[in-house]
Chains A and B, each alone.
Chain A
Amino acid sequence: MATTTLPARAARRSAAARRRDRSATFAFWVLMSPMVVGLLLFTVIPIVWGLLLSFTDARSQITVGDWIGFENYQWVLGQQEFLRSLRTILVFTVFIVPLTFAVSLGLALLVDRAGWGRGIFRTAFFIPTAISYVVASLVWKLGLFNSLPYGVANLGLSNFGIDPIVWIGPGDIPWYWVVLVTVRLWLQVGFYMIIFIAGLQEIPKDLYESAFVDGGRPGWTTFRTITLPLLRNTSIAVIVLSLINAFQAFDEFYNVLGGGSFASGGNLSLARPPLVWLYQTAFGGQEYGRGSAGAFILTALIIAVTLIQGRVLGFGRSSAEK
Chain B
Amino acid sequence: MATTLPGGRPAPRRGGSYWGRLRGRRVLGTVAVYAALIVLAALFLLPFYVMVRSALMTNRQITAFEWLWLPNPPQWDNLRELLDESDILIGLRNSAGIAIIQVVCQTLFAAMAGYALARIPVRGRDLVFFGLLTTLMIPSAVTFVPTYAVVSWLGGVGTLWGIIVPGLFNVFATFLFRQFYLDFPVEIEEAGRLDGAGYFRTFFGLALPNSYGIMAALGALSFIGSWNAFLWPLVIGGQDAKTVQVVLSSFLTAQTIDLAQLFMAAVVGAAPLVIIFLVLQRYIVEGVKLSGIKG
Contact = CB atoms under 8 A, between A and B. Distances in A.
A270 interface: no
B149 A53 contact: yes
A42 interface: yes
Contacts of B6: 225-226, 229
B211 interface: no
A200 to B, nearest CB: 12
B230 A132 contact: yes
Given A62-B153, A139-B51, A194-B285, A275 B142 contact: yes
B165 A144 contact: no
A41 interface: yes
B160 to A, nearest CB: 16
A137 B47 CA distance: 11
B5 A211 contact: yes
B146 A47 contact: yes
Given A127-B277, A206-B15, A213-B12, A34 B252 contact: no
A319 interface: no
A7 to B, nearest CB: 23
Contacts of A4: none
A4 to B, nearest CB: 25
Given A138-B248, A139-B47, A211-B5, A279 B253 contact: no
Given A210-B5, A244-B139, A132 B270 contact: yes
Given A35-B132, A291-B145, A142 B262 contact: yes
Contacts of A210: 3, 5, 11-13
A83 interface: no
Interface string B228-267: 1011000100000000010011011101010100110010
Contact of B295 (A186, A212, A229, A236): A236
Contact of B122 (A28, A46, A62): A28
B228 A132 contact: yes
Contact of B139 (A129, A207, A299): A299
Contacts, number: 335
Contacts of A251: 230-231
Given A150-B63, A195-B291, A124 B41 contact: yes
Interface residues of B, number: 115
A282 B50 CA distance: 37
B277 A129 contact: yes
Given A142-B262, A295-B142, A213 B14 contact: yes
Given A130-B274, A138-B248, A138-B266, A299 B138 contact: yes
B264 to A, nearest CB: 11
Identify which of A190, A204, A292, A306 gathers the most chain B CB atoms within 10 Å of its CB: A292
Identify which of A23, A124, A191, A266 gathers the most chain B CB atoms within 10 Å of its CB: A124
A150 B174 CA distance: 49
Interface string A161-175: 000000000000000
Contact of B199 (A27, A53, A240): A27
Contacts of A148: 63
A255 B252 contact: yes
Interface residues of A, number: 118
A110 B36 contact: yes
Interface string A205-232: 0111111111000100000011001000
B284 A129 contact: yes
A106 to B, nearest CB: 9
Contact of A275 (B36, B121, B231): B231
A198 B292 contact: yes
Contacts of A275: 141-142, 231
Contacts of B255: 260-261
Contacts of A23: 198-199
A299 B143 contact: yes
B96 to A, nearest CB: 14
Given A121-B37, A152-B50, 15 more contacts: A42-B165, A43-B147, A51-B146, A133-B228, A135-B51, A138-B263, A142-B257, A186-B44, A194-B288, A204-B3, A206-B1, A209-B15, A239-B295, A240-B294, A241-B292
Which are the 3 A-B pairs with shortest beta-carbon distances?
Answer: A50-B146, A237-B295, A210-B11
